[in-house]
Amino acid sequence: MSGRAVLHADLNNFYASVEILHHPKLYGRPVAVGGNAELRHGIILSKNYEAKAFGIQVGQALWQAKQKCPGLIIVPPDYDKYLRYSRLFRGILMDYSDQVESFGLDENWVDVTASRTAFGSGEAIAGRIRERVKFELGVTVSIGVSFNKIFAKLGSDLRKPDATTVITQDNYRDVVWPLPASDLLGVGRNTQVKLSYYGIETIGDIARAGPATLEKLFGKWGLFLYTYASGLDISPVKPTGYEAAVKSVGNSTTCPRDLENERDAQIVFLNLAESVAERMRDLGLMAKTVQISLRTNELEWCERQMTLPQASMVAPELAGAAMQLLRKHYSWKKPLRSIGIRGTNLIPIDSARQISIFDDEAKRERTERLEYAIDDIRRRFGHRAIGRALLALDDRLGNLDAKADNIIHPIGYL
């Protein structure tokens, strides 16, 4: 393959594969990793091929999955374990290039253009990576090899598990264009419906529609779709260590029971703020604005935000602002089913601060040092090695499996 050589490496059924590796008795049986139905986090997060044969899909409710496969074994997620495997996976990829860009825990793009003189063709490097992942991690990976990121990702989806698919400038019209439009990165459900309405069913149809028609239908995003489908994408694989600008850091959760009063909300907000603040400190950022999201048990939803007196990455300060917003904007006429907190308008931690004569700056500095000390204890001994007393008032609300929603621009995940 001349020109660029870009790989997209996608670990197969990642969460489920890791769990089966750690529990060999599950091998050959239908297995899914899913949330806790009792905590109302009851969806499928990952499944193995035996479960897929029954029609089990990611995002499906647990009760629906059980209807399709009564013998389905559902394992709770263990994110610490998945993060460890994700880091090991990236370590293998970085042996072949310093341009490794994450697209979630289990997917990475790798630009091996400059590595071919040392390790062989892109396809040969993909084969080396597949063998190492099997031998060193005990799981499998599918890899797409192409001349751009979009087609490399398509390639990794085409053949699973443990396969390499090569898409070149010579064969992409035969390999890619017959595929459904929904297979193209950037074509979500609503876009697919609109494309189908205009008779655009395949990726080839998108390319043949032309940039003018697609821009008319979708605005600037239509031009991206044309570029992607036509093999014209030239976006680089970002170097290892590059981080796209983080626009906000947040957590939200569907609560194990409806929240009936301020004390309930205070416990959950502090729980969520703990992880939000910790991630901001890891990123070297602090928030000037706090935003909350509220959803009632009748699924009514709203968001509110406020500017902080001083930018913060301290959990109690973020939670305190969330409670101010709640008291101001919510009357408790209905219980709350889910809530979220997000830090936005982020700035570097070492940014200059406006000091107020009414604030005890020495106390604030001690509080921040305490937060870093807590981070260090948790890194060494686990997240539950130390906690705040308020969270112990309710075991269910104080120990939530919250959903992180770091928002990054452009496409990508932390």
pLDDT at residue 93, as a whole number? 97
Q: How many CA within 13 A on the CB side of residue 375? A: 19
Q: Are residues 50 and 7 in the same domain?
A: yes
- Strand pairing class (100-102; 107-111): antiparallel
Distance CA 315, CA 319 (A): 6
C-alpha 261: how far from chain center: 31
pLDDT at residue 230, as a whole number? 96
Tally of structural domains, the chain: 3
- List, by residue number, the catalytic residues: 107
34 found inside a domain: yes
CA distances from 396 to 14, 258, 277, 298 (A): 28, 11, 21, 21
Q: Are residues 379 and 287 in the same domain?
A: yes
Q: Are residues 74 and 182 in the same domain?
A: no
For the purposes of burial, counting CB atoms within 10 Å of the CB of 206, is it exposed (0-12), middle (13-18) or buried (19 or more)?
buried
318 found inside a domain: yes
For the purposes of burial, counting CB atoms within 10 Å of the CB of 16, is it exposed (0-12), middle (13-18) or buried (19 or more)?
buried
Q: Are residues 166 and 190 in the same domain?
A: no
Indicate the residue among 229, 263, 290 that finishes a domain: 229
Q: Are residues 193 and 322 in the same domain?
A: no
Residue with tokens 């069913």: 201
Distance CA 320, CA 116 (A): 54
238 found inside a domain: no
322 found inside a domain: yes
pLDDT at residue 115, as a whole number? 95
**Mean pLDDT per 10-residue interval, the chain, length 414 residues:** 88 96 94 72 85 91 90 90 92 95 90 95 97 96 97 95 96 97 89 93 96 92 94 89 70 84 90 88 88 85 90 91 94 90 87 58 76 79 72 62 40 29
Q: Are residues 375 and 249 in the same domain?
A: yes
234 found inside a domain: no
Q: Are residues 324 and 353 in the same domain?
A: yes
pLDDT at residue 253, as a whole number? 84
Return the CATH number at 94.
Answer: 3.30.70.270
Q: Are residues 58 and 170 in the same domain?
A: yes
C-alpha 408: how far from chain center: 10
Q: Are residues 196 and 318 in the same domain?
A: no
Indicate the residue among 201, 229, 257 that finishes a domain: 229
Q: Are residues 369 and 257 in the same domain?
A: yes
Return the CATH number at 307.
Answer: 3.30.1490.100
- 248: how many CB neighbours lie within 10 A of its CB? 20
Tell me the pLDDT of the chain averaged across its residues. Answer: 86
42 found inside a domain: yes
Indicate the residue among 197, 229, 261 that finishes a domain: 229
pLDDT at residue 360, as a whole number? 62
Return the CATH number at 206.
Answer: 1.10.150.20
Q: Are residues 263 and 369 in the same domain?
A: yes
236 found inside a domain: no
pLDDT at residue 400, as a whole number? 55
Distance CA 399, CA 52 (A): 31
Q: Are residues 19 and 168 in the same domain?
A: yes
Domain that holds residue 55: 1-176
Six-digit token pair at 300?
Answer: 């009514």
116 found inside a domain: yes
